[in-house]
Amino acid sequence: MADVHAAGRARIAGPEVRRLSERLARDPASLVFLHLGDALRRDGRLDQALRVAENGVARHPDLVDAHALLGRVAADAGRLIQAEACWREVERLAPGHVDAARGLAFIRWCEGRPDEAREYLEEAFARTDDDATRRSITAAINRLSGVPDRRVIAPTPHLASPAMTGGVNGSGNATGNAFVPASGEVAQEMAAVLEHANRLGEAMQIGRWHALIVECDVGLMGVSLSSADNVAEPGVRFQVADNLPVGRAIRLLLQDQEGE
């Protein structure tokens, strides 16, 4: 099994990671670890990303970006307590840091506390006057509030909930809006499922999860992970469907992610 995993890693280990690793090896005190840690995180190699980020923090304890990197990686790895400590440290070093508020929002969201997540996002919004950042934060707030994001109701076949947003015909093609905001108890339970999924990915050495399907007595529930780098956006889409084969649901979820 180890060989299979190693082969998988080799496939996804891009030249960027190799180049950055070599640069860091040549100059361990450099700030290249910031880029390497993020590159590893994007590859889903969270164990390695954690090591790089933790070493970076140890070498540069006063560097805000080092703590921010560790906060992002720890959150991805489902280590919410560690992630929160990192973002608190960012706040201490750089009061009013936008990403600290967004990072804390993400943690609250993962914990199934959407109201607190929204408060942090609103705080983040107030901390920046950058238009792109504000748009991104607004999209995240809207998603928490159940306001459809224009980007995710494209007229392409997706999973859908007849009860909530539209219909799914016998072939599984959505006839209404594609994405359903999870709320209340469902969101809380799914957040717990996803935290377990994060930790399972780590235990199984298969990296960050991309899609999760729960087959139910009635249809299925699907969750896909946004490929957005921005950790503060709740980059998880919850969808439900009736009458859709599981293999097709998985393909659709993975297409969602790749299509971002």
Partner 1 sequence: MSQTTLRNRLRDVLRSVSPTRGVLGALLADADDGIVVASSLDVGLDADAVGALAASMVARANQAAMAAGRGSAGVIHLHSALGWLCAARAGAHVLVVVADRQAPVGHVRSALLRARASLTDL
Of these, 31, 63, 64, 186, which contacts partner 1 (CB under 8 A)?
186
Least CB distance to partner 1 at residue 219 (A): 6
Q: According to CB under 8 A, which one of 120, 208, 234, 236 is a site residue for partner 1?
A: 208
Minimum CB separation from partner 1 for residue 253, in Å? Answer: 8
Q: How far is the CB of 182 from partner 1 (least distance, A)?
A: 8
Judged by DSSP in three states, 241 sits in: strand
Least spacing, CB of residue 72 vs partner 1, in Å: 18
From CA 203, how far away is CA 23, in angstroms rounded?
29
State yes or no: residue 236 binds partner 1 (CB under 8 A). no
Would you say 169 and 248 are in contact if contact means Cβ atoms under 8 Å apart? no
Instruction: Tokens 């164990």: give the residue.
Output: 47
Task: Answer yes or no whether residue 243 interacts with partner 1 by CB under 8 A.
Answer: no
Does 206 sit near partner 1 (CB under 8 A)? yes
Q: What is the three-class DSSP state of 20?
A: helix
Torsion sign, CA atoms 241, 183, 113, 131: positive
C-alpha to C-alpha distance for 231 and 228, rounded to whole angstroms? 7
Q: At what angle do helices 64-76 and 46-59 cross, to 10 degrees?
A: 160
220-225 and 236-241 beta bridge pairing: antiparallel
Choose, by CB under 8 A, the member of 193, 226, 228, 230 that binds partner 1.
Answer: 193
Neighbours of 61 (CB within 10 A): 11
Residue 204 engages partner 1 in binding (rule: CB under 8 A): yes
- Smallest distance, partner 1 to C-beta of residue 7, A: 9
Closest separation in Å from C-beta 167 to partner 1: 16
Tell me the per-residue interface mask from 144 to 183 with partner 1, x by CB under 8 A, - otherwise.
Answer: ----------------------------------------
Check residue 207 for interaction with partner 1 (CB under 8 A): yes
Q: What is the DSSP letter of 168?
A: B
Question: What are phi and psi for residue 92, nearest 5 degrees?
Answer: -65, -40
Evaluate whether 29 touches 59 at the Cβ level (below 8 Å): yes
Min. distance of Cβ 195 from partner 1 in angstroms?
9
Q: Is position 203 an interface residue for partner 1 (rule: CB under 8 A)?
A: yes
CA torsion, ordered 71, 75, 81, 87, to nearest 10 deg: 30
Tell me: does residue 17 bind partner 1 (CB under 8 A).
Answer: no
> Residue 14 interacts with partner 1 (CB under 8 A)?
no
Give the residues lining the site for partner 1 (CB under 8 A).
1-2, 4-5, 8-9, 12, 43-44, 184-186, 189-190, 192-193, 196-197, 199-201, 203-221, 240, 246-247, 250, 253-254
